[in-house]
Amino acid sequence: MVPLPLLRARTMLVSAGVGFALDVGFYGMVFLLSLHLRQTRGLSPLATGMVFLPMALLTAFVGPSAGWFAARFGPRMPIVTGQVTMAAGLLILSLAPVSARTWLVVLLMIPVGAGGSLAVPALTALLLDRVPADRAGTASGVLNASRQGGGALAVAVFGALIAQHAGFFHGLRTSLLIAAALVLATTVTSVLLRLVPAPVNRLESEAAA
């Protein structure tokens, strides 16, 4: 279904890896904190949804700004900045005390959502800019599949961690630390990714390199 040169290209591999990590961080956090707010803090479904509302609203405003940042500073800047912001938010959340006020949890979630919203549009634009027009749909599909796979795997793995005998909060912190480490690891690949102009068959050139 997917041309092999596309999967061998450095830009495609890095983009898929970054997208995977970003969705592990974002959807993993949403899954974990939803359970935490409902089961351990006793919030109602409506109140739990309201806790996520500030992050969602800010994300809607941050996303469009990614294009401006990419046009002014290049695509690497919003991608790396978004990854670092998300990783920092996940790390701080993992270190927050169990007794932290709900309003503090609301504030600590914002960097995670904002970071993903800043990185994903620039990441998608970078990939599609380096893909031949006849493969743009396929490349976009691979990126989306890797992102959705990251979110699904995060729910499965983190769900297993919080169900262990060590307890919910130990699993919660461990899961958030894993997500932060994964996002930071892919940040290194984003920094090292070459963003020089390339020919129309740039992906084939990368795959042969």
Do the domain assignments include residue 135?
yes
Q: What is the CATH number of the domain that holds 99?
A: 1.20.1250.20
Q: How many domains does the chain have?
A: 1
State the Cα–Cα distance between residues 123 and 97, nearest whole angstrom.
33
Domain range for 92: 4-193
Evaluate whether residue 98 is within a structural domain. Answer: yes
Burial 36-64 (b: 16+ CB within 10 A, else e): bbeeeeebeeeebeebbeebeebbeebee
pLDDT for 3 = 81
Instruction: Determine, yes or no, domain membership for 207.
Output: no
Residue 91 lies in a domain: yes
| Residue 25 lies inside a defined structural domain of this protein | yes
End-to-end CA distance of the chain: 23
Q: How far apart are CA 160 and CA 95, in angstroms?
A: 20
Q: What is the pLDDT along the chain (209 residues), one digit of tens a residue?
A: 778 878 888 888 889 999 999 999 999 999 999 999 998 899 999 999 999 999 988 888 887 777 777 778 877 889 999 999 999 999 999 999 888 899 999 999 999 999 999 999 889 888 888 888 888 889 999 999 999 999 999 999 999 999 987 889 999 999 999 999 999 999 988 887 655 444 435 554 555 45
**Residue 152: inside a domain, yes or no?**
yes
Burial class (CB in 10 A: 0-12, 13-18, 19+), 174: middle
**Residue 175, domain member (yes or no):** yes
On whether residue 198 sits in a domain, the answer given is no
pLDDT at 44: 93
Asked if 26 and 120 count as a contact pair (C-beta separation under 8 A), the reply is: no
